[in-house]
Structure 1
Amino acid sequence: MQKNIPRYQSRRVLWAYRIVDLCLPLVTLLCWQFILGDQPWKTIYAWLGTCAGVLLLLSTMALRGYSRSLERSIAKKLEVTFKAWASSILAISFFAYLNGTVFIYNQAVIIIWGVITPMAVFLFKFFINRKSRSASRGSTDVLVLGNGYAFNKFELAQLKRHNIQLRTIVDYDVLAVKSAVASKPPDFIVMNLDKVAEPDLIKALTHLDLQGAHLLALHHFMESFLRKCYIPYESTELAYLDRICSYSRINFLLKRLLDISASVIIALLTSPVMLYAVLKIRRESPGPVIFSQKRVGLSGQEHTIYKFRSMHLDAEKNGAQFAKADDPRAYAFGAFMRKTRIDELPQLWNVIIGDLHFVGPRPERKVFTDQLEEEIPYYNERHLVSPGITGWAQVLYPYGANTEDSRQKLMYDLYYIKHWSIWLEIETIIRTAFVVLGRKGI
């Protein structure tokens, strides 16, 4: 069982969350009654809003929503907020039915209030969280023992955005560890060992653990703070194959329901954009509008996927190449489509027929998967699930142009598969929207 990891350095953010949960239901009810209500404000509405706030507070507390160990992720905030609000609404509906007051309220006001309030609570908490990070003067200090895994610039920048500072002891021994801890007690000690630990070092770390130091294995640190699964360069750890598994039957059905709903809605909303893309492609780069290609999907089977053609017809005259940012093989509007993800829209059909999920690992060509399977341990684990139009790796990591980039993306893909939930799915969709709109780093 993993230790609790305190991610909130200050309790002020958690007290702000409590105030939002307690007060916002009453405020939103007042607003909607003022906008839509055909009757003057009644005392019973005040009781309803107040009771909803109290119940939301208690429900969030029961879900450990005010714990310093609560994840600061969008997915966790969505989960806690909507679960707590759902339980609050159920309790209010039950008591209203018993008291015979369920028909007193304006139904339009109550329905809209019930739908909008959790969204408003989530947005307020998201804003508070963002401000607390940017305004925080302190940082989370992490002491890294060893250099078994070299954190790259992208990871260091991601940690810095979350006010996490790394200190690394390369030549670690008992005296070096004790000196580093004594000079500045770290919030966490990460074991990133690149050599066998001596018995004296193990004994020293045991004492630090007893004294309250937070000792974290490297893979635990990566999953908790970078939200990716660490892949060792050596493929000798066979237990790794037991950690990642496909979706359960219920999760798969839930995911397919979301796939079809999202695909149909987006297809209807973007139909004018797709029509414009067809006309623009024909004008700028005569030739087929739709580009079809075999990609590796579930269980390593190939499927034909469809995209708007964003590159010149002779793009692969020199052989297959990894796609990259500002790819010179793309024509002007093609580059714009790739940047805004418009070229992916025809893949909505692949989602509807079941070849793709809306969210999942990026589908790759067999020529690349065969090569990467030889070079990256556990690469085939990503084929435990169907690929997707967008994905966790695609919204958190930039274009990959080499094997190491593919390895980094695989870490995010495996995290997504291992930790899948409807809330992580929604967070990925939210992040995709921000990427399309040109806003990153949320």
Structure 2
Amino acid sequence: MKKSHVKRYQDRRVPFTYALVDLCTPAILLLLSFGLFSQGAWSHEYNWMMLLSGVFYATCIGVQGGYSRYNNRSFSDRLAITFKTWFFNVFFLLVLLFIYLSELDFDRIVTAIWVVFTPFFIMAIKLAIQHYSRRYAQTKIQVAVLGRHYEFNEFEYAMLEQQGVELTYFSLKDQGDIETNIMKVSPDYLLLNLEAPATNQLIKELTHLDLKGVRLIVLHRFMETFLRKCYIPYDGEDLSYLEKVRPYTLRNFILKRAIDWLAIIGIGVLCSPLMLYAVLKIKLQSPGSTLFTQSRVGLGGKNFTAIKFRSMHENAHFNPYTQKEDPRIFPFGHVMRKFRIDELPQLWNVLRKDMHLVGPRTEWDILVENYEKEIPYYHERHLVRPGISGWAQVCYPYGANLEDARQKLMYDLYYIKHWSIWLEMETLLRTVVVVLGRKGL
């Protein structure tokens, strides 16, 4: 039996702290908004809003399991629950006040500021609590692994460490009763990675464990829940769990194009001086064309011409992968790559519908040809348009070999399978964090 140690996650006090945040933050922010932005007198409507908003909101979050000690919701799921619940809460509160009060007298500007900014503050406070609780908490999520020994890589271990997951490995060949051995570690989850169909005796023991409160989970589900990637084994034949990896629905496509247009207008206007500066620096440091074009594979496996600022000297020796401290990159090229400035011309590709703002990374057609031969399901990433930024890019470092391409594919497939406006927002937030050189959310 092998045991891997990771940091502890949250203790029992964290959900209670979350409840206090949900209960008190709306009232505190209403007071602050009124004090900073109102020029009128305090009205009794504000008293009711202070009293009821936090109570209603905390109750709704609690009903949805928001204060469970074993809440493994992703950041995007928590983002969705926070905003949806808050705006439903505000709507319900205003309707209630309209029904029971003869007239409503409150400052619309103060109320609008309060309504818009409260969910952001709630999320920020909870993230701060989560960050510090991971340092000092005294409990772990215990996961017993039964079957083949899966070797998690360093990035997978880092993500499990962030969530306070402790893994304990068991083999079907271990001496003694499997159920008894597993219950010695009192696991929260039993991760099944079996090589062959379970025997009747094993099914019986797994059933007993399930009845004792141990949650059974298979490897691909564990990957999606804790690591937020779709598992692609080297020798896997049954990949039926990837059936839900499909193109965007019409509604989701419209939402993504709306985000694309906002990005084209907003980033284009804000970054136009930066792009002009980049053009001048490239001309000064490396004579030749300012832009770099390359054939990339897009939607449906069709090629298109991607446009970027050139970050390498022209006529540099051929190598499909960029290395650390690559001599082909001129000084300002390193700066552009670090802060993703070289990607800005791809807004033109977004405008032309070759790309989205967020999606799987665009890959060189020469590399794609090899990847599709070597990596199962690689072609599935072409079900959607590629993006300037993407889930794989913010979750995994720059790839330099076939294994990196396989790892990134897992994140790409997760993004496609689980796409929502909230996952899009999380990806964009993580992109900002990565560009600023900080750790992920």
Counterpart CA distance in 2 for 1:96 and 1:178 is 56
CA contact (8 A) 1:324 1:399 kept: no
CA contact (8 A) 1:327 1:335 kept: no
CA contact (8 A) 2:10 2:137 kept: no
Asked if 1:212 is matched to 2:218, the reply is: no
Residue number in structure 1 paired with 2:260: 259
Deviations 1:214-267 (A, max 9, x none): 221001111111011111223522524523111111111111111211232112
Paired AA for residue 408 in structure 2? K
Output the TM-score relative to the length of structure 2.
0.92
Residue number in structure 1 paired with 2:434: 435
Residue number in structure 2 paired with 1:221: 222
TM-aligned CA distance change 1:369 to 1:69, over 3 Å: same
Matched ranges for 1:366-377 at <5 A: 366-377=365-376
Asked if 1:231 is matched to 2:232, the reply is: yes
Paired AA for residue 428 in structure 2? I
Identity %: 48
Matched ranges for 1:128-207 at <5 A: 128-147=129-148, 149-170=150-171, 172-173=173-174, 175=176, 177-178=178-179, 180-194=181-195, 197-207=198-208
Residue number in structure 2 paired with 1:356: 355
Helix, strand or coil at the partner of 1:237: coil
Residue number in structure 1 paired with 2:409: 410
CA contact (8 A) 1:146 1:193 kept: yes
Counterpart CA distance in 2 for 1:377 and 1:144 is 25
Paired AA for residue 145 in structure 1? L
Asked if 1:297 is matched to 2:298, the reply is: yes
- How far is 1:120 from its partner? 0.8
CA contact (8 A) 2:11 2:138 kept: no
Counterpart CA distance in 2 for 1:432 and 1:246 is 23
Deviations 1:353-405 (A, max 9, x none): 21111111001011111101111101001111111001111001011111111
- How far is 1:132 from its partner? 1.7
- How far is 1:182 from its partner? 4.2
Moved more, 54-63 or 152-161: 54-63
Asked if 1:79 is matched to 2:80, the reply is: yes
Matched ranges for 1:270-281 at <5 A: 270-281=271-282
Moved more, 13-22 or 225-234: 13-22
Deviations 1:150-179 (A, max 9, x none): 211221122112221212235644627345
Paired AA for residue 103 in structure 2? T
Q: How many residues align?
A: 433
Moved more, 234-243 or 26-35: 234-243
- How far is 1:198 from its partner? 4.7
Paired AA for residue 335 in structure 2? F
- How far is 1:286 from its partner? 1.1
Helix, strand or coil at the partner of 2:176: helix
TM-aligned CA distance change 1:176 to 1:372, over 3 Å: farther
Counterpart CA distance in 1 for 2:247 and 2:328 is 36
- How far is 1:82 from its partner? 0.5
- How far is 1:277 from its partner? 0.9
Paired AA for residue 156 in structure 1? Y
Residue number in structure 2 paired with 1:4: none
Unaligned stretches of 5+ residues in structure 1:
1-6
TM-aligned CA distance change 1:240 to 1:184, over 3 Å: closer
Deviations 1:101-127 (A, max 9, x none): 33x211211111111111111111111
CA contact (8 A) 2:15 2:67 kept: yes
Residue number in structure 2 paired with 1:400: 399
Asked if 1:339 is matched to 2:341, the reply is: no
- How far is 1:294 from its partner? 1.3
Counterpart CA distance in 1 for 2:205 and 2:406 is 34
Residue number in structure 2 paired with 1:420: 419
Residue number in structure 2 paired with 1:3: none
Unaligned stretches of 5+ residues in structure 2:
1-7
Counterpart CA distance in 2 for 1:241 and 1:109 is 47
Counterpart CA distance in 2 for 1:414 and 1:249 is 19
Helix, strand or coil at the partner of 1:411: helix
Moved more, 165-174 or 9-18: 165-174
The alignment's C-alpha RMSD in Å is 2.1
Paired AA for residue 406 in structure 1? A
